[in-house]
Amino acid sequence: MKKIILFLTIITTFFHSNFLSGHVNHYNDLKYLEYEIYLNDELIGTHTFNFKKNKNILSVSTEGKFKVKKFGIEIMNYRTKTTEIYDNGQLNEYISETFQNDKRKHVNLTYNKKNKSFEIDGSSFKGQADKNNIIGSWWNHAIIDKNSQISAVSGRIMPQKVKFLGKKEVILFNKKYKALKFHFLSNDNKPLKKKKINFNVWYDVKTLLWLKMSYEKLGQWEYRLKNFAFYR
């Protein structure tokens, strides 16, 4: 019992001193992240994140795309482009445009300095949101310390609860990583199959880079980090 208590104390101290205290400034030297997207272990697409720093401004631009085929027939064509702009770590603007086949979704978000809140014009939500929300794009590890996230695709505000599942070894493209695994779940009364958030996410212990994400929806989906680079 003493060993268990000691382990929990160490983990809690680690989170609060290193992991949870992080914010976007942690990624100032990051140049890009490249992910491959898999469905039932078959490569179907890619998603790239490009980071640019200019004094206090950090810009993160992303582009993702995948296609799903069944019996050789294309049943889904997904494309998305997003831009996040931070000033001294504060999200100032977020823009996204996503197409699922011919259906368009969007988010236009700005930070209102006077009210200290986000103004959102999205496909699923239009209105204000508390500034403690975070865009649900996963690359920023600070998402594990948030009670809700803003959908990167539609602007919907989604309450969440996060559970730490332990320290795991992850092998991606013949590289071994020591990772911290978390489970994200919608904090609502909907049945499990109808929850908007139900993801497993892994972050590297040393760099805090987002390594992997998996979820089930008509199959097993995975994002796997293939390449990354730093400016330094």
Instruction: Give the model's pLDDT for residue 230.
Output: 93
Is the pLDDT reported for residue 18 higher than 60?
A: no
Count how many domains the chain has: 1
We report the CATH number of the domain holding residue 197 as 2.50.20
Is the pLDDT reported for residue 22 higher than 90?
A: no
SS3 145: helix
The C-alpha atoms of residue 183 and residue 213 are separated, in whole angstroms, by 10
pLDDT-derived band at 8 (thresholds 50, 70, 90) equals very low
Instruction: Give the model's pLDDT for residue 26.
Output: 76
The C-alpha atoms of residue 64 and residue 98 are separated, in whole angstroms, by 9
3-state SS track over 44-75: EEEEEEEEEEECCEEEEEEEEEEEEEECCEEE
Supply 200's token pair. 């497993």
Helix/strand/coil percentages in the chain, nearest 5: 15, 60, 25
Domain housing 133:
2-230
pLDDT-derived band at 194 (thresholds 50, 70, 90) equals confident
Instruction: Give the model's pLDDT for residue 14.
Output: 43
Specify the pTM.
0.88
SS3 230: strand
